[in-house]
């Protein structure tokens, strides 16, 4: 089993304003079915050519001088999040936080760190979202 980068996440104080700035810099766009709006605490933009996504997420009590403000959000390429989590832990990742179910059953993510302490998250696989819908 392997994981793919679902999107790159940027912690921030104003998700909408920062996503708008990066859209202008990179030529990215809002997702067609999920436009960003002022006041949104999570905003995602996408490169129309490559499909690469950047997620801007507001973090409570965020300090802009905090290191490690950018991290990967991974999604299982095949299989399920729980299987991928076991594999990552077996490869030496360390679990830092568990946010599974934060927005109801089947939602959320798990925060991990690689052997050097770089943080990343593991999300559910695309098919897990489809199964829940």
Bridge partners, 11 (sequence order): 57
Q: Which pLDDT tens digit goes with each residue over 72-113?
A: 899 998 899 999 999 999 999 999 999 999 888 888 999 998
Contacts of residue 50, defined as CB under 8 A and 6 or more positions apart, other chains included, come to none
Quick check: helix, strand or coil at residue 66? coil
Determine how β-strand 94-98 pairs with β-strand 110-113. Answer: antiparallel
Structure token digits, residue 27: 């030529």
Quick check: helix, strand or coil at residue 130? helix
CATH class label, 3-132: alpha beta
Residue 1: which pLDDT band, with cuts at 50, 70 and 90?
low
């Amino acid at each position: 089993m392997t994981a793919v980068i679902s999107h790159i996440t940027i912690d921030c104080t104003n998700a909408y304003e920062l996503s708008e700035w990066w859209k202008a810099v990179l030529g990215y766009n809002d997702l067609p079915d999920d436009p960003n709006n002022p006041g949104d605490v999570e905003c995602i933009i996408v490169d129309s050519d490559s499909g690469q996504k950047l997620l801007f997420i507001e973090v409570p009590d965020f300090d802009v001088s905090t290191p490690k403000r950018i991290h990967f959000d991974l999604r299982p390429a095949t299989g399920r999040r729980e299987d991928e989590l076991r594999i990552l832990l077996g490869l030496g990742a360390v679990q830092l936080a568990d946010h599974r179910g934060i927005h109801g059953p089947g939602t959320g993510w798990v925060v991990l760190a690689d052997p050097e302490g770089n943080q990343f998250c593991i999300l559910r696989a695309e098919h897990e979202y489809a199964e829940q819908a």
